[in-house]
Structure 1
Amino acid sequence: MILDRICVYCKEELKGRSDKKFCDAQCKSAYQYQQTKQQPERFFNKVDNQLRRNRKILKDYNKGGKVTVREAVLLSEGFDPNFFTHFWKNQKGEVYLFVYEYGFRKIKENRNNKYVLVLWQEYMSKR
C-alpha cells in the first residue's frame, strides 16, 4: 500500500521517512509560525507588548530627564497610560506612574491635557 505523502505546508511530495510531515526546516518553521498567528494572543503577551511599546515611546520623548508632552502626541504613537509597572508619590502627593525607569504624570495646562515625563532617580527608591 503506497500512501501519497505531501508536505503539510507547501503540499510538495515527501521523500524519506514514513512519518515525515515537512519537506524541510523552512516549511516546518513557516507552518508553526502560521499556526501561532492564527491563535488568539495570550493575555501575558498583550500586556508585555503594551509595556514595551509604552517604554519605547516614553524613552523616545524623554531626552532631557524631565519634559512635558501633549497627551494627543503620546496617544497617537500607541501609548496606553493604563499599562505601567509601578508608581511613586512625591512629597506634594503627586503620583507618577512608571514603565520601568520612565515615569509619567497627567496634568492639565492651559486647557490642554499633557504628560510630565520623568526618569527614575535614586532618591525615589528611599522611603
Structure 2
Amino acid sequence: MGNLCKDCHAPLRGRSDKKFCNDGCRSNYHNQHNTEKLKDIGPINKILKANLKLLNQLNPYSKRIIPKQLLLDAGVNLKYHTHLYKQKDGKVLKFCYHQGYMELEDEKIQLIKMKYSDF
C-alpha cells in the first residue's frame, strides 16, 4: 500500500516523499497542528495587547510619572510584559512592546515610551 495524505488520508500519487495530496490538505494540516501548539499563547497575547492599549492611553508621549494605583485601576496586569531592560544603574524597566514602566519610590510608576528607532 502506498503513502497516504497526512490530512485526508487519501492515497498519494506522484513523488515518493509526498506528504499531502494538495495545497488545501497541507494548509489544513498545518493550521490544525499550529493551533493546537499555540493555544496556550492566545490568552497571554490578549493580556499583552490589553496592557499595550492601556499604556498607550496613559502615556501617549515619551515619559510620565503616575501613581501606581492609577496604572492598576486602569487594568494593567503587571505580571505580563514582553521584555526587560536593565539600566547601567541596575534599575529594571519592564516593557510591553514599546511601552515601558519602572516602579519608583512612594508607589509611583515611571512610564517610558520607546521610539521604534531606539530598538
TM-score range, shorter chain: 0.5 to 0.7
Tell me what 2:9 maps to: none
Q: Is 1:100 aligned to residue 97 of structure 2? A: yes
Deviation readout 1:76-104 (Å, 9 max, x if unpaired): 12111110001111121111010000000
Pairs within 5 Å for 1:74-93: 74-93=71-90
**Structure 1 Cα separation of the partners of residues 61 and 77 of structure 2:** 22
Query: Which protein shows a greater Rg?
Result: 1
CA distance in 2, matches of 1:49, 1:100: 13
Distance 1:67 1:88 in 2: 18
**1:60-75 alignment, distance < 5 Å:** 60-75=57-72
Q: Distance in 1 between matches of 2:72 and 2:50?
A: 11
Q: Which runs of 4+ in 1 moved over 2 A?
A: none
Aligned equivalents of 2:67, 2:114: Cα separation in 1: 20
1:1-127 equivalences under 5 Å are: 42-109=39-106, 113-121=107-115, 122-123=117-118, 125=119
Q: 1:43 offset after TM fit, Å?
A: 3.0
Q: TM-score, normalised by structure 1?
A: 0.57
Structure-2 residue corresponding to 1:10: none
* AA of the residue aligned to 1:117: L
Cα shift readout 1:27-53 (whole Å, capped 9, x = no counterpart): xxxxxxxxxxxxxxx532220111011
Secondary structure in structure 2 of the residue aligned to 1:91? coil
TM-score scaled by length of structure 2 = 0.61
